[in-house]
Amino acid sequence: MEKTILEQIKNEEEEMLKFAEKIVNIDSGYDCPEGVAEVAHHVGDFLAKLDFKIEYLETPNEPVQILATRPCPGKKKVMLMGHMDTVFPKGTVAERPFRIENGIAYGPGVMDMKSGIAIGLYTLKALIDNKWNDTDLTVFFVGDEEINHPKTNAVENFKKYGKGMDAVFNMEPGRAEGEVVTGRKGLWRPKIKVEGVAAHSGNEPEKGASAIIELAHKAIDITALTNFATGTTYNVGVFNGGRLANIIPDEALAKLDVRFKTIEEADKAKENVKEILAKTYIQRTTTTLIDEGIVDYMPPFEETPAGLKLYEFLRKQAEKLGQTPLGRLYVGGSSDAGYTTMVGAPTICSMGPKSVGAHSNNEYAYVESYVPRAQLLAMAIMHLDEM
């Protein structure tokens, strides 16, 4: 059966690419929830034919999520996860629709991550067409990953559906050499606002309290917390304040970007920043932390023993297929893989095609990598008992 499954994936390469083309050619940025819904329905129609139970999870005026399940009691549980939205606004498809040139696929979201969706679906099709019935399968795709799920319950759902899985594969793009990602830093991105007292810098400077100087002290203190050994870093990336040179500035605003590898480090970082903000260098200034919760926070995708074990297993499957050794990377950018890891599910990120340039107009994916990636995923699902 294994052989026919792997062969079918190869034989259906063209259809897989056609499916990728179909969903790339639907604008599905944040200004286009109807595009996300259209993608979701293509996914739903595809999986319904494979006996999945399909549920569209709606949030009014927000992008839809799709949950597809094919229960198989007593068997290993596998979830494919991902997102159907892109970073590109309405009209991008008209400007630069899907195209293949010299073995390279282009188009908005071709890399991040519509090709990963196509690869996931054609893997499942090959398994099920060949009567593979030994895995409990779940597919869960959201529509607001690129904006960090501000208004839907996507985060809760990743945790809810990820819990108890034996393996989770996030179909985000594979890296430039086809590596998968086994860990990602989390981020916290609050704003810091300081209010001081304005005064004329020539006539009565003693009456002023400089918000800029207060914030400058704090920015230096915060940046000094950076610890490259633990991987927790602090960047004051934006710093604004003042209006005219002859006014003691009464307002200053900074935007902070903190990255960390573990949730413990995240909590520590928040405390440390708050401690610094509680100090006062310039009397009569007040400092406020503007922390917009979920919009400003992504948990780390922690590297766990269970996740690394899944990677080792996957590397073995790649070896069996004669693929180039499957590398793994730890990266600074975050993804939803952190949520399924938080609930204990071994998770591998970046199971999509080998690709380059996410979020840019030059993103592309190597067509030759679609079939190997789907075959690798199929092997992982078929052999999961051996892990």
Interacting residues toward Zn ion by CB under 5 A: 112-113, 172
Q: Which of 3, 9, 7 is nearest to 118 (CA)?
A: 9
Of the candidates 53, 214, 84, the residue with the CA atom closest to the CA atom of residue 149: 84
Crossing angle, helix 305-320 and helix 370-382, to 10 degrees?
120
Minimum distance from residue 115 beta carbon to Zn ion (Å): 11
Q: By CB neighbour count within 10 A (0-12 exposed, 13-18 middle, 19+ buried), where does 229 fall?
A: exposed
- Where are the extended beta strands (E) located within the chain? 53-57, 65-70, 76-83, 99-101, 104-106, 135-142, 167-170, 180-184, 186-188, 191-195, 199-200, 233-241, 247-248, 251-260, 286-290, 297-298, 328-331, 347-348, 355-356, 364-366
**Least distance (Å) between residue 387 CB and Zn ion:** 26
CB of 117 to Zn ion, least distance (A): 11
In the complex with Zn ion, the residue whose CB is nearer, 113 or 117, is: 113
The residue (of 21 and 172) whose beta carbon lies closer to Zn ion is 172
Question: Quick one: tokens of 359?
Answer: 């979020």
| Residue closer to Zn ion, measured from CB, 33 or 82 | 82
Residue the block writes with tokens 């630069």: 96
Q: Whole-number minimum distance, CB 379 to Zn ion, in Å?
A: 24
**Which tokens sit at 347?**
């998770």
| Closer CB to Zn ion, 62 or 172, in the complex | 172
Cβ 358 to Zn ion shortest distance, Å: 7
| Number of residue whose CB is nearest Zn ion | 112
CA distance 169 to 180: 10
Nearest distance, CB of residue 86 and Zn ion, angstroms: 8
Look up residue 381 and give its two tokens: 């699902």
Q: Say if CB 325 and CB 315 are below 8 A apart.
A: yes
As measured in angstroms, the least distance from the Cβ of 172 to Zn ion is 5
Q: Give the integer Cα–Cα distance in Å for 8 and 18.
A: 16
Locate the DSSP E strands across 89-189. Answer: 99-101, 104-106, 135-142, 167-170, 180-184, 186-188
Q: How far is the CB of 145 from Zn ion (least distance, A)?
A: 6
Residue 224 or residue 294: which is nearer to Zn ion going by CB? 294
In sequence order, the 6+-apart residues with CB closer than 8 A to the CB of 88 are: 27, 29, 108, 109
For residue 112, the minimal CB distance to Zn ion (Å) is 4
For Zn ion, give the closer residue by CB, 12 or 62. 62
Residue 31 or 319 with smaller CB distance to Zn ion:
31
Nearer to Zn ion, 21 or 145 (CB): 145
Structure tokens at 282: 């310039």
Residue 222 or 349: the one with the smaller Cβ distance to Zn ion is: 349
Q: Which two tokens mark 103?
A: 């073995």
